[in-house]
Structure 1
Amino acid sequence: MKTEKPTLVIAGAGSGKTTNMVKEILKYLPELEPHRFLAAITYTNAATNSIRERLSQYTKIPANVFVGTTYAFFNKFLVLPYGSLLPKVTEDKKDKKENTIKEYFIATDKIFFELDDKKVLEILTGRHPDWNRKNAQQKQVLEYAFTNQLVRQGKIPFDKIASIASYLICDYQIVREKVGSRLQFLFVDEFQDTDNQQFKVFDEIRKSKKTKIYKVGDAEQFISNYSAGFKDFSKIPILQHKQKYEVEEKRDNNRCSSQITTFINNFNTQLQQEARFSTVEKNGVFFISQTDLLQISNTFKDKTEIWRDEPDFKRFYLAFENKAFDSVSGLIKISNESKKSYHLLSEVILIITKIVGFNSKQICEKYNINIIQLRTLAIKLWKKEFANFDEFKTYFERDLAFQISTEKHFDAEKFFSELQNLKIIPKNQQHTDYTTTIHKSKGLEATCVLVVARDNNELEKWLENNHTNRVAVQYNQKNKKKAFEDHYRLGFVAFSRAKMALYIACLQQINEANKKKLESLNVQFV
């Protein structure tokens, strides 16, 4: 089956990109063939959960619909099925002409599994007691050698997943054909955050001409923390490769009030949006003149109580650093909330290990499964309802094919009770105040948003409304490299999370230049 040209939807913040993508998914679900997959991918756990929740409101998600992060997608459709195709070598080799070390991989009969970046750093720090005294180049050399060693052992550090996936699908036509045959539909959210390696994977799938592709994104919300390596804003894939797609532009802003939409249009180098959200006098953009974080937070909380009766009332406290609001009590970290399902899954796996009498590694070896398959079985166990222990025992041994421990005085019913207790934890606690980094807030929205700058320099970049400056290539004195400045777009991303009211603050007394800029942008001081 040959497909038409892929669709690329360019749309600004609050335009309903994800909502429209979910509608497209629902439209094509009836056409999904039983032996093929529909994949919907995005860049954060929170955004993944959001897509799942929206789909679940309309339909039971079929088993052949994959919703997950880009890296989870690469693992499932490329690394795990085709990792054994990686070529055999015995050591890394240096290219004398280019004076660079090339990446080599080794075929292995071991199961490939992901190794968290923090774990890699933990191992390196343990191996090298003087790690913290080494310079950046020395650390890079050691990390490079270690990660390649891990890959040869079948262990994939997180930052290697994309390069391995790209290698497999670009160098093996059979992989491209098989992935194309397996994927009937591919939906990519937040396409602006796609880096070159990830784009290569998606483009190879496009070249197979077997997969219908739908991508949505907003170049203005590109943040290089997600997609490092670009020196020129015009070279990010969403802008550079537009000619490969049927492009649709959506200019409506269905999230923000007209005051906020007008404000963020000052910083949008791609699209000028039109507000579709009703405007009332209490909506707007405000600057809190205090510089103490607790005072700023309390003022924000007091001023925004007038919106509490709004449906799904929520407040965001945003900053560049994750720990910025640690001193403010009563805030829920979105990063933790988004991982709640992961922690719950870990609890279920822990219960399985207790019932079987082995740890997770031993279970994988005994039952000839990998950690991904173990997680899948844990999810099945979690979703299954049991009237009593006997029903549970039958399902555990017959359907999951696990053996309950036969040790003397072993009480499996105790652990069955633990599983049942997990299921009665309230799913929807009434929290209203959340904090996260600006990066992790992408794709999310709140009734009222507070954005705090560390100093005048950061605030100045957020408020830069000269479009040429916002995309200009800068020289970074610290890294001795030329690149476009990322911080300009951080402000835009944060500002565009707000529906009713946007509050801005700075931990440093604002200078005259920033004050005049705020006044020129019609920001109200409180």
Structure 2
Amino acid sequence: MPNTLHIESDSLILDKLGLNPKQLEAVKYFENPLLILAGAGTGKTKTLTSKIALLIASGISPSQILAITFTNKAAAEMRQRIANITPYCGGIWMHTFHALGAKLLRQHGALIGIKQDFLIYDTDDQKKLITLILKENGLENDKNKIPLYINLISKAKDDLIDENGYQESAEASGETNRLKTARIYRIYQAKLALAGALDFGDLIHKTCKLLKEKDDLREYYQEHFKYVLVDEYQDTNHAQYVLVKALSEKKQNLCVVGDPDQTIYSWRGANIRNIMEFEKDFKNAKTIILEQNYRSTTNILNAANKVIVRNRNRHPKNLWTQNNDGDNVEIIECSGEIDESRFVYNKIKKLTASGAYTYNDFVVFYRTNAQSRSFEETFAKMRIPYRIIGSVKFY
């Protein structure tokens, strides 16, 4: 695959991309598997979309490029950015992991007994199904554990453990709760099959099974995809890692982008070893680090660098910027949640009273949803308008 590219002939498209030296190096590199360590605000999406545009300009058919993202929003943004660079981008396989799995299973799932018109169960469907299973098996007292059972089953699928493997493990452990979960998992899968349905975990789990068991199909897609790109690689779980490897292992035509410092999904199965051990997993892999930040001020980056450097489970890097110093970062110690929310209120009130700011200029971040309550109480009491993003209001 690398030998088919003629980088020199694509100087025009490279000139109009406005890439910095490290971004340009990453965009032009195709010799071996590539890990792009992209710090926050370093132009990760720009680099990834530029690389795809260069592949197309170099003669690779868009339909032979696979780009995997974590959200539909990210996929849509990447499509638009690529279209802004080159009009010849129709047909790219640009999907989330789940959408890719659904596509492959609808086309080839019959090879492992999956009907083409399968339903996809969401979280509400899962809850209803687990509720029914508990009722039918005299386990109504476990109703409060429904989210736990859903999580355990999803985790098993993320680890590529089917109901039979889970049963064997439970029997070996002899743990009562694990045996109960194994029983529920087994019944759950049987009922999914009867309904002609898959859940989101199945979309990747079953796709891995399909590619593992059907050598001809796996080899077809290994030949079909001339290049495979994965966004947010630090957030991949084991099943996603296996899927990526199955599609790219033969030709080593892989580029992943991520940053261990931005891992946020370990609670739902993301395995940081996937990005930390990329160079071990893929022979002759190269790592290119993007460190020039375009988003933040110098003071913010200095503070962030001093905090994250204490994390030992990371690839060393030091973000820098040509932006100005900006305001100093303030650290305020408060006696509790109420004191904290009142401090924030007073700060906002003071700045808006100056006439230089409006309420729409402020954002309050918090670590957990529960922490919004004290801010909401204070803002409501003081009649400060606000809206919650990504959750629901307490009031």
Q: What band does the TM-score fall into relative to the shorter chain?
A: 0.5 to 0.7
Structure 1 position 159, deviation (Å): 1.6
1:328-477 equivalent positions in 2, closer than 5 A? 329-331=385-387, 333-334=389-390
Asked if the contact 2:33/2:255 (under 8 Å) is kept, the reply is yes
Secondary structure, in 3 states, of the residue corresponding to 2:93? strand
Deviations 1:402-428 (A, max 9, x none): xxxxxxxxxxxxxxxxxxxxxxxxxxx
TM-score (normalizing by structure 1): 0.51
1:67 aligns with 2:94: yes
Q: Given the superposition, is the C-alpha separation of residues 15 and 110 from structure 1 closer, same or farther in structure 2, using an over 3 Å criterion?
A: closer
- Find the aligned partners of 1:14 and 1:316 in 2 and give their Cα distance: 18
Asked if the contact 1:8/1:216 (under 8 Å) is kept, the reply is yes
- Find the aligned partners of 2:356 and 2:59 in 1 and give their Cα distance: 42
What one-letter code is carried by the residue in structure 2 that aligns with 1:256? S
Asked if the contact 1:12/1:271 (under 8 Å) is kept, the reply is no
Secondary structure, in 3 states, of the residue corresponding to 1:168? helix
Structure 1 position 153, deviation (Å): 4.6
- Find the aligned partners of 2:67 and 2:223 in 1 and give their Cα distance: 16
Q: Look up the match of 1:85.
A: 111
- Find the aligned partners of 1:20 and 1:79 in 2 and give their Cα distance: 31
What one-letter code is carried by the residue in structure 1 that aligns with 2:278? H
Higher helix share: 2
Q: Given the superposition, is the C-alpha separation of residues 22 and 316 from structure 1 closer, same or farther in structure 2, using an over 3 Å criterion?
A: farther
Structure 1 position 152, deviation (Å): 6.0
- Find the aligned partners of 1:303 and 1:189 in 2 and give their Cα distance: 41
1:110-509 equivalent positions in 2, closer than 5 A? 110-129=116-135, 130=140, 131-132=142-143, 137=177, 138=180, 141-151=183-193, 153-209=195-251, 212-225=253-266, 228=269, 236-243=273-280, 244=282, 245-266=285-306, 267-268=308-309, 269=312, 270-287=315-332, 289=334, 291-292=337-338, 295=342, 298-299=345-346, 301-302=348-349, 316-322=363-369, 324-325=371-372, 327=376, 329-331=385-387, 333-334=389-390
Secondary structure, in 3 states, of the residue corresponding to 2:317? coil
What one-letter code is carried by the residue in structure 2 that aligns with 1:21? L
Secondary structure, in 3 states, of the residue corresponding to 1:122? helix
Q: Given the superposition, is the C-alpha separation of residues 123 and 67 from structure 1 closer, same or farther in structure 2, using an over 3 Å criterion?
A: same
Deviations 1:350-386 (A, max 9, x none): xxxxxxxxxxxxxxxxxxxxxxxxxxxxxxxxxxxxx
- Find the aligned partners of 2:185 and 2:38 in 1 and give their Cα distance: 39
Asked if the contact 2:235/2:270 (under 8 Å) is kept, the reply is no
Secondary structure, in 3 states, of the residue corresponding to 2:386? coil
Asked if the contact 1:147/1:157 (under 8 Å) is kept, the reply is no
Structure 1 position 320, deviation (Å): 3.6
Q: Look up the match of 1:411.
A: none
TM-score (normalizing by structure 2): 0.66
Asked if the contact 2:39/2:291 (under 8 Å) is kept, the reply is yes
Secondary structure, in 3 states, of the residue corresponding to 1:145? helix
1:43 aligns with 2:70: yes
- Find the aligned partners of 1:49 and 1:22 in 2 and give their Cα distance: 12
Asked if the contact 2:109/2:115 (under 8 Å) is kept, the reply is no
What one-letter code is carried by the residue in structure 2 that aligns with 1:70? F
- Find the aligned partners of 1:54 and 1:308 in 2 and give their Cα distance: 34
Q: Look up the match of 1:55.
A: 82
- Find the aligned partners of 1:56 and 1:307 in 2 and give their Cα distance: 41
Asked if the contact 2:228/2:255 (under 8 Å) is kept, the reply is yes
Q: Given the superposition, is the C-alpha separation of residues 198 and 295 from structure 1 closer, same or farther in structure 2, using an over 3 Å criterion?
A: same
Structure 1 position 56, deviation (Å): 4.5
- Find the aligned partners of 2:342 and 2:221 in 1 and give their Cα distance: 54
Q: Given the superposition, is the C-alpha separation of residues 334 and 28 from structure 1 closer, same or farther in structure 2, using an over 3 Å criterion?
A: farther
Q: Given the superposition, is the C-alpha separation of residues 320 and 153 from structure 1 closer, same or farther in structure 2, using an over 3 Å criterion?
A: same
Asked if the contact 1:18/1:51 (under 8 Å) is kept, the reply is yes
Secondary structure, in 3 states, of the residue corresponding to 1:128? helix
- Find the aligned partners of 2:2 and 2:324 in 1 and give their Cα distance: 47
Structure 1 position 303, deviation (Å): 7.0
Asked if the contact 1:251/1:273 (under 8 Å) is kept, the reply is yes
- Find the aligned partners of 1:46 and 1:6 in 2 and give their Cα distance: 26
Q: Given the superposition, is the C-alpha separation of residues 53 and 127 from structure 1 closer, same or farther in structure 2, using an over 3 Å criterion?
A: same
Q: Given the superposition, is the C-alpha separation of residues 68 and 177 from structure 1 closer, same or farther in structure 2, using an over 3 Å criterion?
A: same
Structure 1 position 238, deviation (Å): 0.9
What one-letter code is carried by the residue in structure 2 that aligns with 1:240? E
Give the number of aligned pairs: 309
What one-letter code is carried by the residue in structure 2 that aligns with 1:125? T
Deviates more, 1:257-266 or 1:297-306: 297-306
Q: Given the superposition, is the C-alpha separation of residues 261 and 69 from structure 1 closer, same or farther in structure 2, using an over 3 Å criterion?
A: same
- Find the aligned partners of 2:192 and 2:203 in 1 and give their Cα distance: 12
Q: Is there any run of 5+ residues in structure 2 with no aligned partner, and where?
A: 4-30, 150-176, 380-384
Structure 1 position 295, deviation (Å): 3.2
Structure 1 position 276, deviation (Å): 0.8
Deviates more, 1:171-180 or 1:135-144: 135-144
- Find the aligned partners of 1:307 and 1:250 in 2 and give their Cα distance: 39
Q: Is there any run of 5+ residues in structure 1 with no aligned partner, and where?
A: 87-106, 337-434, 436-526
Structure 1 position 315, deviation (Å): 5.2
Q: Look up the match of 2:40.
A: 13
Q: Given the superposition, is the C-alpha separation of residues 20 and 335 from structure 1 closer, same or farther in structure 2, using an over 3 Å criterion?
A: farther
Deviations 1:255-293 (A, max 9, x none): 222222121212234323132142345253443737337
Q: Given the superposition, is the C-alpha separation of residues 75 and 314 from structure 1 closer, same or farther in structure 2, using an over 3 Å criterion?
A: farther
Structure 1 position 33, deviation (Å): 4.6
Higher strand share: 1
Asked if the contact 1:10/1:248 (under 8 Å) is kept, the reply is yes
Q: Given the superposition, is the C-alpha separation of residues 35 and 218 from structure 1 closer, same or farther in structure 2, using an over 3 Å criterion?
A: closer
What one-letter code is carried by the residue in structure 2 that aligns with 1:170? K
What one-letter code is carried by the residue in structure 1 that aligns with 2:274? P
Secondary structure, in 3 states, of the residue corresponding to 1:215? strand
Secondary structure, in 3 states, of the residue corresponding to 1:262? helix
Q: Given the superposition, is the C-alpha separation of residues 291 and 108 from structure 1 closer, same or farther in structure 2, using an over 3 Å criterion?
A: closer
RMSD of aligned Cα (Å):
3.6
Secondary structure, in 3 states, of the residue corresponding to 1:39? strand
- Find the aligned partners of 1:330 and 1:119 in 2 and give their Cα distance: 33
Asked if the contact 2:67/2:230 (under 8 Å) is kept, the reply is yes
